[in-house]
Chains A and B, each alone.
Chain A
Amino acid sequence: MYTHQGQDIFVIDGHTHLWDASPANWRNKYGEGWIKCFYAFHNGLSPAEATWPFEKFCQYGEETLVDDLFFKGYVDMGILNSTYLYEFYLNGFNSHSQNNAIKAKYPDRFILCGSFDPRAEEAGLDAFHQMVEEYPIQGLKLYTAEWRDGSRGWRLNDPWAYKYLDLCQELGIKNLHVHKGPTVYPLSRDAFDVHDVDYAATDFPDLNFIVEHVGLPRLEDFCWIATQESNVYAGLSVAMAFSRLRPQYFAEIIANLLFWLGPDKLCFGSDYAIWSPKWLIEKFMAFELPDDIKKEYGVDLTLEIKRKILGENAARLYGIDIAMQKAKLSQDGIGVKLATVA
């Protein structure tokens, strides 16, 4: 909970990870390269006090996550992303079953995302059913650039992906967090291309597609699609991190999103542990759009809009009644401890 001038602001962190990228888990050089790349994101944009040594960044554990999100970072609830990367990490990077360990301890604090990979075809459909039966899956994280048996990615409008999306509708899994990565089949095409989201969003109007990192590095294509499709939303992680070093660009990105998508489709995310919610939220709450940007775009980032971005929009997507949820959260282990600290 963030408190602004006596008012509580409910925070849902839409993009969090509890990963194991320790060297013992590296399958090959790609596992090492992957976490080093993440570390460059972390190191390049975090303030000094929130910058970790590489060893801690590789594996920080449950307690650190709970502390950084709920005790230090103003977060009320976190969405746990599941990113498997079995071709890079022996036990996976952060799978839904690993994530579920922390979800089981604090069931009201987390929304657990599962995943699917359409390249698993028929057998994967059964596994998907099983995952949904065994785990409290409320959403999905789809990482289209995952490597698998020589393939370097897939697209949401692949025929097999549509079978999985059909199944999502059938099983009532409505929210799909979509992330584009750098290597998608075929390699001659734009690996960050977001147009497949457009097809899937049109053909599956009952599903919501939350495009992580606002489609960056293809912000313009993303804005266009999200303007056309009422069920396409923006996940703000990565964009949030510009707020400290490059406020001018942060202002322009936010102004573009407000201009094209409006205030009801933007959801906060930290991408923890790449960045910590504490400084992101403090910067965001202190941030105001400069007058020239307000004037040019005809938008403003008011307190009401900040509340929507930080929690209300994600709460609506996941059917969370904020007042009821707050009451519940005040009773769990974290809530009780927070009350004694305050």
Chain B
Amino acid sequence: MMYNGVQCEFPPGYDGTVLLERLQPILDPELDESILQLGFIQSLHVHDGHATIAVQLPTSWCAANFAYMMADDIRRALLTVEGIHQVTVRLQDHFAAEAIETAVNAGKPFAEAFPGEGCGSLSALRVTFLHKGFTSRQERLLRALRAVGFLPEDICALRVGDVVVQGDACVVQRAGHASIEVGAAETLCRYLARRAELGLDCAATAPLMTDLRGHPLTVERLEAYYQTARTVRVSLEANGLFCRTLLTVSQPNAGERAR
């Protein structure tokens, strides 16, 4: 049976939706998008508590480090599901599939997948891309605020608590002002989620727009900051698009999976 374009095989009566839910937050770190929505998950089979998952990346040359991160994140996420005691990740058609699968499926670190190739930990790389994702998510919120006419002084004065989700929309509610809708709720949620993930202050009284160190953006700095952030967002989105296009060529079904 198919769930969101993923070919699934579960034991009779088994509810596999929880597995797919656990996969949902896993991101392609380089693109800052869900691997499920990118269409990277080809199939998911569960037999006797053993989950086997096939991952198809856009090309066989996708960078080994990011491929490892995604495979490792998948395995860890599925192992948190009650009743799943073993996970096997298969990387389809990838130049380093064997090395990555062997390490990931045995729970070994990246350095052990490629001994002697100068592999340290991937944590610094992961942080770099969490930061790029932060900037890109923040740019979308900044863009939405600018689009409805917020001036730099308005934007810099906003607190986290001034912006709320109402249905599918993001709404600015400031004392003494009429409420204004500023784009999709998802834009705000994604920004705040990453902000929290990075350990930045998300209290209602905290400034809405801060840099990666948590320093509030000042009116003088805002325009230059936005211009840089805009390029980060364009870069990430263009790469995501390129990857989706490539995946659709090799895997016509991926179009169905991808959102």
Residues of A within 8 A of B (CB): 29-30, 33-34, 36-37, 40-41, 43-45, 150, 152, 181-183, 185-192, 216-220, 223-224, 238, 242, 245-246, 249, 252-253, 256, 259-260
Contact A186 B119 (CB under 8 A): yes
Contact B231 A242 (CB under 8 A): no
User: A183-B64, A190-B128, A245-B245 are contacts. A219–B234 as well, Cβ < 8 Å?
Assistant: yes
Which candidate, B55-63, B162-170, B171-179, B200-208, is the interface stretch facing chain A?
A: B55-63
User: Could you tell me the distance between the alpha carbons of A238 and B238 in the complex, rounded to whole angstroms?
Assistant: 11
Contact A219 B228 (CB under 8 A): no
User: Could you tell me the distance between the alpha carbons of A187 and B112 in the complex, rounded to whole angstroms?
Assistant: 12
User: A30-B95, A188-B118 are contacts. A217–B64 as well, Cβ < 8 Å?
Assistant: no
Contact A253 B114 (CB under 8 A): no
Contacts of B197 in A (CB 8 A): none
Contact A188 B235 (CB under 8 A): no
- Which residue of B65, B231, B234, B237 is within 8 Å of A187 (Cβ)? B65
For window 106-146 of B, CB contacts with A under 8 Å fall at 110-111, 114, 116-122, 124-125, 128, 132
- Which residue of A188, A218, A253 is within 8 Å of B111 (Cβ)? A188
Residues of B within 8 A of A (CB): 30, 58-65, 93, 95, 110-111, 114, 116-122, 124-125, 128, 132, 227-228, 230-232, 234-235, 237-239, 241-242, 245-246, 248-250
Closest 9 CB pairs of A and B: A186-B118, A219-B235, A217-B239, A33-B60, A44-B249, A44-B245, A37-B59, A220-B231, A220-B232
Closest to B249 in A: A44
User: Could you tell me the distance between the alpha carbons of A30 and B61 in the complex, rounded to whole angstroms?
Assistant: 9
Contact A253 B245 (CB under 8 A): no
Contact B95 A216 (CB under 8 A): no
Contact A249 B238 (CB under 8 A): yes
Closest to A184 in B: B63
Contact B30 A182 (CB under 8 A): no
| A/B pair count, beta carbons within 8 Å | 109
Q: Apart from A191-B65, A217-B235, what are 16 other A-B pairs with CB-CB below 8 Å?
A: A33-B93, A33-B95, A34-B61, A44-B248, A150-B117, A182-B62, A182-B64, A185-B118, A186-B120, A189-B65, A216-B242, A219-B234, A220-B228, A220-B235, A249-B238, A252-B234
Interface residues of chain A: helix, strand, loop or mixed (majority): helix
Contacts of A37 in B (CB 8 A): 59-61
Contacts of A181 in B (CB 8 A): 61
Contacts of B241 in A (CB 8 A): 242, 246, 249
Contacts of A187 in B (CB 8 A): 64-65, 110, 114, 117-119
Contact A219 B119 (CB under 8 A): no
Contacts of B63 in A (CB 8 A): 182-183, 191-192
Contacts of B93 in A (CB 8 A): 33
User: Could you tell me the distance between the alpha carbons of A217 and B59 in the complex, rounded to whole angstroms?
Assistant: 14
Contacts of B117 in A (CB 8 A): 150, 152, 185-187
User: Could you tell me the distance between the alpha carbons of A36 and B59 in the complex, rounded to whole angstroms?
Assistant: 9
- Which residue of A29, A45, A188, A223 is within 8 Å of B119 (Cβ)? A188
Contact A188 B110 (CB under 8 A): yes
Say how far A301's CB is from chain B's closest CB, in angstroms.
Answer: 16
User: Could you tell me the distance between the alpha carbons of A161 and B246 in the complex, rounded to whole angstroms?
Assistant: 33
A-B contacts, 28 listed (Cβ < 8 Å)? A30-B95, A33-B60, A40-B59, A40-B246, A152-B117, A181-B61, A183-B95, A185-B118, A186-B118, A186-B119, A187-B114, A188-B120, A188-B121, A188-B122, A188-B124, A189-B125, A190-B128, A191-B63, A216-B238, A217-B242, A219-B231, A219-B234, A220-B234, A223-B231, A224-B228, A242-B242, A252-B234, A256-B234
Closest to A219 in B: B235
User: Could you tell me the distance between the alpha carbons of A183 and B118 in the complex, rounded to whole angstroms?
Assistant: 12
User: Could you tell me the distance between the alpha carbons of A92 and B93 in the complex, rounded to whole angstroms?
Assistant: 23
User: Could you tell me the distance between the alpha carbons of A223 and B238 in the complex, rounded to whole angstroms?
Assistant: 15
Contact B245 A45 (CB under 8 A): yes
- Which residue of A30, A41, A191 is within 8 Å of B246 (Cβ)? A41
User: Could you tell me the distance between the alpha carbons of A259 and B228 in the complex, rounded to whole angstroms?
Assistant: 11
